[in-house]
Structure 1
Amino acid sequence: MESFGLYLQLGLEHITDVNGYDHILFILALMASFNSSSLKQVLILVTAFTLGHSVTLALSTLDVVSIDADLIETLIPVTILIVCISNLFNLGQAKGSPSYMKAKRPIKRYYFEATIFGLIHGLGFSNYLKSLLGSEEQIWEPLLAFNLGLEIGQVIIVLICLLLNAIMLRFTMWHQRDWNLFLSGGAFVSALIILVN
């Protein structure tokens, strides 16, 4: 059980590590169209992302799937760019309304994107986890603990972001449309920088 706690902590630290901010950018981009009144939808969205990356994280760690690390490092910022572009198409929905979340994309499409792109991000997580699992005889417990740590970290990021969203919408002239533009635009530029470097 000590091993479980260790890998849980490692998963939590890995997702919240600012040096690995590409995964944080993806989560922020994914939830840019949502506000604090959509907490349940956002948590389901993040869990869909976790399910996606859990599958490929497990398959890669077990050496069932092997994909070039450089290709994955290229695809991760591409997933962020796609989500950001998709978000920017939703800007016209807001029309300045603070009660914005009647997006053009049905919520199921968000879940689908999160799951599919989660598969790619899972391959990115796997290189880190493989280096940690070198001495482990049984990998299922560390794998589960690491994924739970990632999920907890993602939920913390989401809650902080939704809190900031609520403060901005309540105490400033910003509307959800502005918030979407701010998060999506910032994530887009950051992902572009990652991609070209």
Structure 2
Amino acid sequence: MSVFQTYLQLGFFHIFNLQAYDHLVFLLALCAPYVAADWRRVLALITSFTIGHSVTLALATLGLVQYNPRVIEVLIPITILLTCGLNLRKAGQDTRRQALLWAAPNLLAAVFGLIHGLGFSSYLRQLLGQNSRPVLELLAFNVGVELGQLLIVALILAVGFVALRAAGMARRDWILVVSGAGAGIAAVLLLQNIAG
């Protein structure tokens, strides 16, 4: 197996892994207000998040940015809480009528991506060692993370489709349940990271 394939798999399994549940919960919260028919909006959100985390993942992995990993571990659940809070506040509103639908959520996703990219880089730096400055490994890892994210988003939209269509759940209720659960998980994670 090539170096590229190895780091591609490491990136994929890092995001598509229950040990990275903080990132999974963030993606769930990010996608909660949307249904499969909103795939263009979801794609725009995920692209914004990707741009954000790709920038800091590259800068931190290449040693161009220094940060405190403990601070990032506290900030990640805060991004989840804020996303869930926005979802809960907007639950029941027609998302098509919101004036800043594309700009504001995408900007927020990009900013939160900057924080999550530093979280990804902590894991990648552990794999590579402190003195390594790998470009190929960084690219492969990032592509793997993206493939994992796309699969997770597709699964979230599929579960949402089943809940809304097959089970007859109201969209507002779906947003409230998913965002409430995400906020609860994030709150526990935040308390653990502050205490730890």
Q: Same fold (TM over 0.5)?
A: yes
Unaligned runs of 5+ in 2: none
Please point out which of 103, 106, 119 is paired with 1:108: 103
State the alpha-carbon separation in 1 of the partners of residues 108 and 77 from structure 2.
14
3-state SS, counterpart of residue 93 of structure 1 = coil
Opposite residue 181 of structure 1, the aligned amino acid is L
Match of 1:70 in 2: 70
Match of 2:173 in 1: 178
Q: CA deviation at 1:135?
A: 9.0
Match of 1:92 in 2: 92
Does residue 49 of the first structure (1) align with residue 43 of the second (2)?
no
Structure 1 residue ranges (4+ consecutive) displaced by more than 3 angstroms after TM superposition = 135-138
Please point out which of 130, 149, 153 is paired with 1:158: 153
The superposition leaves residues 99-136 of structure 1 with CA deviations (integer Å, 9 ceiling, x where unpaired) of xx326451221111111000000111111101222399
Identity of aligned residues (%): 45
State the alpha-carbon separation in 2 of the partners of residues 66 and 13 from structure 1.
25
State the alpha-carbon separation in 2 of the partners of residues 103 and 186 from structure 1.
26
Q: Is the 8 A contact 2:61 2:133 kept in 1?
A: no
Report the TM-score when normalising by structure 1: 0.91
Does residue 40 of the first structure (1) align with residue 34 of the second (2)?
no
Opposite residue 183 of structure 1, the aligned amino acid is V
3-state SS, counterpart of residue 102 of structure 1 = helix
3-state SS, counterpart of residue 112 of structure 2 = helix
State the alpha-carbon separation in 2 of the partners of residues 168 and 17 from structure 1.
23
Opposite residue 75 of structure 2, the aligned amino acid is L
Report the TM-score when normalising by structure 2: 0.92
